[in-house]
Chain A
Amino acid sequence: MARFSDDMLSRAKELVSLYPDPRSATIPLCHLAQEQDGYVSDEAMAHIAELVGSSAAEVQGTASFYDMLKLEPVGRYVIGVCTNIACMLRGAYEVLEDAEKVLGIPVGGTTEDGLFTLEEVECIAHCDHAPAAQVNYRYFGPLDDESFRSLIARLRDGELDDEVPPHGTLIRVRREAPPAIPMTEIDRERAGDQE
C-alpha cells in the first residue's frame, strides 16, 4: 500500500507537533496508517520513520510489538473472541469454535471475501458481558452460538456500519483544542513555583 495521502499527512504532522518529542507520535501514526490502509504497510512504516526521526527498523520494532497493529493486510472486520479466564469460565472456547465454523476459517485466518479476520484475544475488559468479543474494537457480549451468528449477519448486511467502522478506524472524534501550549512557556511558568 502506500505512504500517507495528503490529507493523512497533514493529520500526521498535526499529531507529531503535539508532543515534546516527535517519536512519541509513533503509535498514533501507526493507527493513522492503519486507518488509511487497514494495516501498517512497509511504506507507511518508512514514512512514519521519516516523520518522527527514527529508523524504519525502529518503527517496525515498535509496531510489531503491539497486537492491534497489523503488519499484514487483514479483513475489513477483525473479530477478536476473548478466551481469557472470565470469558473462558463462561464458555468462550465454545464461542470460538462456533466462530471458526460460522466463518469457515481457523483462528488467524481471513475469509476469502476479505470481510472477516478471526482472532483469539486476551481479556478485553468486557468480563461482565462474558463471553465477549470485539469487532474492530467495538465490543459485543454476552455471546452464544446464536447471537454470534446474528452478529456476523448484521455486519455482512451493513446494519452495524455506524457502530463498527472498517478495520483501522479507531478514534472518530478529532482533537479540538487550541494549539498546544509551548513547553517553553510552561517551563517559564513552572519555574516560578519551584522557589
Chain B
Amino acid sequence: MTERIVGARLGYEDSETLSRFLATGGDQGLRRAVLEMRPEEVADEVTTANLLGRGGAGFEAGRKWSMLRKAPRRYLVINGDESEPATFKDHLLVERDPHQLVEGATIAAYAIGASLVVIYLRGEFALGLERVQQAINEAYARNALGRSIFGSSFSVDILLQPGAGAYICGEETSLIESLEGKRGFPRIKPPYFPAVIGLYGEPTIVNNVETVSNLPWIVQHGGAAFKALGEGRSTGTRLFALSGQVQRPGPYEVEMTKITFRDLIYGKEYGQGLHPDRSLIAFIPGGVSAPWFFPENLDIPLGQDEVAKAGSMLGSGSVIVMDDTSCPVRSAWRIARFFARESCGQCTPCREGGAWIDKILRRIEEGEGREADLDLLLDLCDNISPGIKWPPAQTTICVLGPSIPPSVSAAVNHFRDDFLVHIKEGRCPHA
C-alpha cells in the first residue's frame, strides 16, 4: 500500500466526523499556516511540492497562485462540480472527509489572501453538501473560520454553493458564471483567465477539491516531503477512480508514477482484474474526454507526462475499463450523447456537431448506419477539433467541444470492423 495523503482518513467508518478529524491530525496544517507561516511561505511550500491541479488540466497550483493579478479583492473558488463521467474522487472526499476540504480551502485562502471562499459543489451531491455545510458550521464554531482564525490576524468566510445539474459548470469560467447567477456559458480565454478577471471581474483562483485537500498534509509535512513522492512533474499521490468492467471498481490512492495501468486494473489491492473469461479491449485513462488506450498501453505508469507522451491524459483521474462483452460503438455513442446533452450550446460546432454525431452513432448502433457515416463522423470531428490530435486544437470557446472527437475517432479508427458489422449486418458482434 502506498502512502496515503488525501485518503488517509477514508479507512475509518466515521471519517466525516469532527472528532475523527481532530483525532487524526485535523487543523494542524491550518494552525501552522496561520500562526507560524507567512502567506508566501505557504505558497512556497506548495510550489516546492509541485502539486499539480487535480481537476483535469493538471496545472501547477503554486504557479497558478503566482499568476493572481494584484488587486485588493481576490476570490478563491473550490471546484467540486465533479461531473466527468466515471470520476468520483471528489464525491468521496466531500462526503467522507469534508473537514479536510474546509481546512485545505482555508489554507489556500490564507496563502493567496482571498477575500472570500466559495465551495461550489455539484448539486446532486446532497449528502456531500450537508456534510460540508456541517463541517463549515463546526469550523466557525471552533474559530477555524471567520474572524481572526485561531487568534491570528487572518479572517475569511466560506460559502457553500450548490450547483444545479450541468456538467459544463465544472469548467472554471462557466462555474464562475453560474456562481454569478447566470447560465453556465464558459467565457472566452484568452485574453482573460480567472486569475486576472474572474468572479465579479476580480482576480480569482479556481482549485479542485482534491487539489486543496492535499494542502493540510503539505503544510504539515512540507512541500519537499510531497515532492519526494512520485517522480518528475508528477509528485505526491492521487486518487484514481477505477470503474467499468473490473472485479473491484473503486477509488484508489496511489503514489504517482509508481504503478502502471496494468497494476491498477489487475493488481490485488486494486481492481483485481476483469471477469474471468473476458479480455480487455480498451480503457480510458482520464475521463471520457481523454483518448482511449488499448491493451498495448497497459504498462504506462500513472504519471501525467507519461500518459501525455502516449497521446492521452490523466485528466480527472478516472480509469474506465471495457472488456470484450462491451460494444465499442455503443460506448462511443454513449459518450458522444453525454457531450451532446451537456454542451452549453453557445458554440456552433459543439452545439450542432455534438448533437449530429450523437444521432449518427445512435443510428449506426441501431443498425441503420451507412458506410459513408464513418468518414462523415471523422470529418465532423475534424470540424470540431481540427486535425483530431492530442492535445486538441479547437474551433470552440472551451474544451468541451474538442472532448467529443477522442472517443469517436478512437472507436471508429480502432474498431472499424465492429462498425462495419453494425452497418452491414445490422447487428452487434458483442451482443
Answer yes or no: B90 CB below 8 A from chain A CBs.
yes
Q: From residue A124, how far is it (CB to closest CB) to chain B in Å?
A: 6
Answer yes or no: B279 CB below 8 A from chain A CBs.
no
Binds B, one of A80-88, A103-111, A153-161: A80-88
Answer yes or no: B82 CB below 8 A from chain A CBs.
yes
Instruction: Assess whether B183 is in contact with A171, with CB atoms less than 8 Å apart.
Output: no
Q: Please, how many angstroms separate the alpha-carbon atoms of A88 and B241 in the complex?
A: 16
In chain B, residues 140-195, which have Cβ atoms closer than 8 Å to a Cβ of chain A? 140-141, 145-147, 153, 155-157, 159-167, 178-184
Chain A contacts for B129, CB-based, 8 A: 170-171, 173
Q: Please, how many angstroms separate the alpha-carbon atoms of A58 and B133 in the complex?
A: 28
Q: Please, how many angstroms separate the alpha-carbon atoms of A96 and B83 in the complex?
A: 20
Chain B contacts for A6, CB-based, 8 A: none
Q: Which of B122, B165, B335, B341 contacts A85 (CB 8 A)?
A: B335
Chain A contacts for B164, CB-based, 8 A: 27, 30-31, 63, 66-69
Q: Please, how many angstroms separate the alpha-carbon atoms of A130 and B137 in the complex?
A: 33
Chain B contacts for A175, CB-based, 8 A: 133, 136-137, 160
In chain A, residues 64-99, which have Cβ atoms closer than 8 Å to a Cβ of chain B? 65-69, 83-86, 88-90
**Residue interface bits B317-339, CB-to-A below 8 A is 1, else 0:** 01011100010001100110010
Q: From residue A166, how far is it (CB to closest CB) to chain B in Å?
A: 12
Q: From residue A184, how far is it (CB to closest CB) to chain B in Å?
A: 10
Per DSSP, chain B at the interface is mixed
Q: From residue B239, how far is it (CB to closest CB) to chain A in Å?
A: 12
Chain B contacts for A127, CB-based, 8 A: 85-88, 241, 243-244, 249, 318
* Number of A residues, CB within 8 Å of B: 63
Chain B contacts for A173, CB-based, 8 A: 129-131, 133-134, 137
Given A89-B331, A137-B126, A186-B116, are A122 and B180 neighbors across the interface (CB < 8 Å)? no
From B75, which residue of chain A is reached at the shortest CB distance?
A20
**Residue interface bits B219-250, CB-to-A below 8 A is 1, else 0:** 00000000000000000000001111100011
Q: Please name 15 further chain A to chain B contacts, defined as beta carbons within 8 Å, in addition to the given A123-B85, A176-B140, sorted by A numbering.
A: A25-B181, A27-B181, A30-B164, A68-B165, A86-B249, A122-B342, A124-B124, A125-B88, A127-B85, A128-B242, A173-B129, A173-B134, A178-B147, A187-B73, A190-B73
Q: Which residues from chain B sit less than 8 Å from chain A, CB to CB?
A: 39, 70, 72-74, 82-88, 90-91, 113, 115-116, 122-127, 129-131, 133-134, 136-137, 140-141, 145-147, 153, 155-157, 159-167, 178-184, 200, 241-245, 249-251, 284, 288, 318, 320-322, 326, 330-331, 334-335, 338, 341-342, 344
